[in-house]
Amino acid sequence: MDGRQGDKYNMSEDEVQRPEDEEIDNKSSGEEANAENQHPKRKRYHRHTQHQIEALEAYFKECPHPDTTQRNELSQMVGMEPLQIKFWFQNKRTQMKSKHERQENKQLREENDKLRNENMRFREALSNACCPNCGRMAAITDHLSLEERQLRMENARLKEEIDRISAVAATYLKPFTYPGAGSSSSMRKP
């Protein structure tokens, strides 16, 4: 064996002949320009028959992850290589995953749009809010601090509670009048 052929690691970069260089060297000078633009030969694209696709689809519904023996049985049944079966199932699982993700994304987008619209309605309602006590436009602005907003809400709640208690008290208590309130001499002090 020649030292140059057997020991690739000791050869200089110029001495190493690559497989693509061999293909070009075997062609005439006119073909060299075309060979640089062309890719190495690929296998022809093969479409599966309708019968094969139907059988694979039916099997996929029952078992999306067939083991080696199942793939071998299926390959004999449909007339394909076990490796083709393996790749078909990988591709089908990827398609199903992508389809599921697209559906989920669509659903999430719709939900997001719905929430965004609801948020816009709430913002508009807040901007047009009226004070329940006086009927004037409420001064709810973004420049108020969170603590101040909470205090204002608590204040409004307490005012409503006072009004409610006053109404209840008015129904049960009669106004107190002293006997003989008309003259100061008739008032007695206990």
Q: Could you report the per-residue pLDDT of 64-102, keeping only the tens digit for each?
A: 999 999 999 999 999 999 999 999 999 999 999 999 999
Q: Which residues contact 159 (CB under 8 A, 6 or more apart)?
A: 133
Task: Give the position of tokens 């028959």.
Answer: 49
Place 15 in a pLDDT band, splitting at 50, 70 and 90.
Answer: very low
| pTM to 2 decimal places | 0.43
Closest CA to 85 of 74, 99, 97, 100: 74
**Average of per-residue pLDDT across 179-185:** 53
